[in-house]
Chain A
């Protein structure tokens, strides 16, 4: 898999539901279509919730994974 280079990084570590999703929705407004927002979170619920958010808003969740206790999401802005 090729390396993903995010255009913007949102640090939502330490935040609980619903703030990682709320902040993601606000931050995605600051990038252009086809750019990539990377979200860092420590809330385990965000694994399901960021995926649900992406599905609902129609943005593309390119990858999600756990790296050293931090959940990392790469989201491509679709519209």
Chain B
């Protein structure tokens, strides 16, 4: 359709709170009829990693793999306190009926949001296509994002 509006979001951050922001806006944009894509780069890629899997092949890659969580393991940008803050936020959000990041990611998939992993970040951080959930698109580069953003009505960098 010619007049379909589009939304394009860069997810750079691996912080729980910022990923919430990105997924809430992405799912809402898609729900409001916008063609929506999310470009995941650097720490943002944690949102796409399979659960319980360690990434990395070389020494540095494997060291980084210890830091590299999945969508349920990412902590808030403030007050994480080694995971206690993550637990607290999750508990408070659940009590107040807020959907989890995992549920929001599933809603994004169901609504047809394109989840694009950044090829260069994957190479640097030694993350393979098979380390990520099946719903991701083929890995892409900055030009794909820029092309998306050129035609987008909303672009965000989170």
Contact = CB atoms under 8 A, between A and B. Distances in A.
Interface of A: 14-19, 21-22, 24-26, 43, 52-53, 56-58
A19 to B, nearest CB: 5
A16 B28 contact: no
29 contacts: A15-B99, A16-B97, A16-B98, A17-B24, A18-B24, A18-B27, A18-B99, A18-B104, A19-B107, A21-B28, A21-B31, A22-B27, A22-B28, A22-B31, A22-B107, A22-B111, A25-B30, A25-B31, A25-B32, A25-B33, A26-B31, A26-B110, A26-B111, A43-B97, A52-B32, A53-B31, A53-B32, A56-B32, A58-B33
Contact of B96 (A16, A18, A58): A16
Interface of B: 24, 27-28, 30-33, 96-99, 104, 107, 110-111
Contacts of A22: 27-28, 31, 107, 111
A52 B99 CA distance: 20
Contacts of B28: 18, 21-22
B149 to A, nearest CB: 20
A16 B28 CA distance: 12
Most B-side CB within 10 Å, residue of A15, A19, A56: A19
B9 to A, nearest CB: 14
A30 B115 CA distance: 25
A55 to B, nearest CB: 9
Given A17-B24, A18-B24, A25-B111, A57 B32 contact: yes
